[in-house]
């Protein structure tokens, strides 16, 4: 498991005493404009999927599980071959995978552009290169794994829009990469933030993201998350 998950609460508090405030500041949510260009799903499409990476998948998954219109959000790996999609390999930086989340959503309730707005606003900081908060390495990179030209164009145009608006103090480093495959992570990673609310890591780095979603984008916030396990 992740080293952070193995540390005791006391050890985590001590370890974050120096970096906690800095990391929290770096991951602070930013109120962003909606995309000027969005994408309508094909009329016959009942569901659509998006794959995003933005640091530890626990927090990214949790944010989208609390988003209206999302039908499922699964933690996993993208950017490498199937045989390398194993947590011990990925977390050690031995693969080309990123920790990612596959989001299945109802395009009649929420758009791809709206999901991008949530990703950039509250789910992660797109200006951090190969890291998020206390986690570092290419497997924690900011990335959008687009599935078609439609998703690629919306993402490219939105990043350009945000850069022109200078909504972030630093340059957006999010990579746009064609999706080749997504591999679900091990069961113990699924619904982690919901099932472990008292984890010091979740309390410090992930719960604030959910609060930011509720505060900044209340129109898309859902109190009860949609979980992979199906639990209520």
Could you tell me whether strands 135-136 and 142-146 are parallel, antiparallel, or unpaired per DSSP bridges?
unpaired
Neighbouring residues of 171: CB distance < 8 A, sequence distance ≥ 6: 127, 163
Q: Is 21 a catalytic residue?
A: no
Residues forming beta bridges with residue 176, ordered by sequence position: 144
Exactly one of 12, 29, 50, 56 is catalytic; which is it? 56
Rounded CA separation 36/140 (Å): 28
Question: In the sheet that 142-146 helps form, which strands lie side by side, from edge to edge?
Answer: 175-178, 142-146, 48-54, 98-105, 70-78, 182-184
Q: The tokens 């091990």 sit on which residue?
A: 186
Give me the active site residues, please.
Answer: 56
């Amino acid at each position: 498991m992740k080293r952070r998950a193995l540390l005791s609460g006391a050890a985590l508090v001590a370890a974050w005493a120096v970096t906690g405030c800095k990391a929290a500041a770096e991951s602070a949510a930013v109120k962003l404009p909606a995309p000027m260009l969005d994408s309508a799903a094909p009329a016959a499409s009942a569901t659509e999927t998006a794959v995003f990476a933005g640091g530890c998948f626990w927090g990214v998954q949790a944010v989208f599980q609390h988003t209206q219109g999302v039908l499922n959000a699964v933690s996993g790996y993208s950017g490498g071959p199937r045989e390398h999609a194993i947590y011990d390999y990925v977390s050690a930086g031995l693969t080309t995978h990123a920790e990612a989340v596959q989001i299945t959503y109802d395009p009649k309730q929420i758009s791809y552009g709206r999901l991008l707005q949530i990703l950039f606003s509250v789910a992660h900081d797109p200006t951090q290169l190969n890291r998020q908060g206390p986690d570092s390495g290419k497997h924690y990179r900011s990335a959008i794994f687009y599935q078609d030209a439609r998703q690629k164009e919306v993402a490219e145009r939105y990043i350009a829009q945000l850069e022109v608006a200078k909504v972030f103090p630093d340059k957006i480093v999010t990579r746009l990469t064609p999706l080749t495959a997504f591999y679900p992570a091990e069961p113990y990673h699924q619904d982690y933030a919901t099932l472990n609310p008292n984890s010091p890591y979740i309390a410090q780095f992930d719960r604030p993201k959910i609060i930011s979603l509720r505060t900044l984008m209340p129109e898309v916030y859902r109190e009860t998350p949609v979980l992979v396990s199906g639990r209520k």
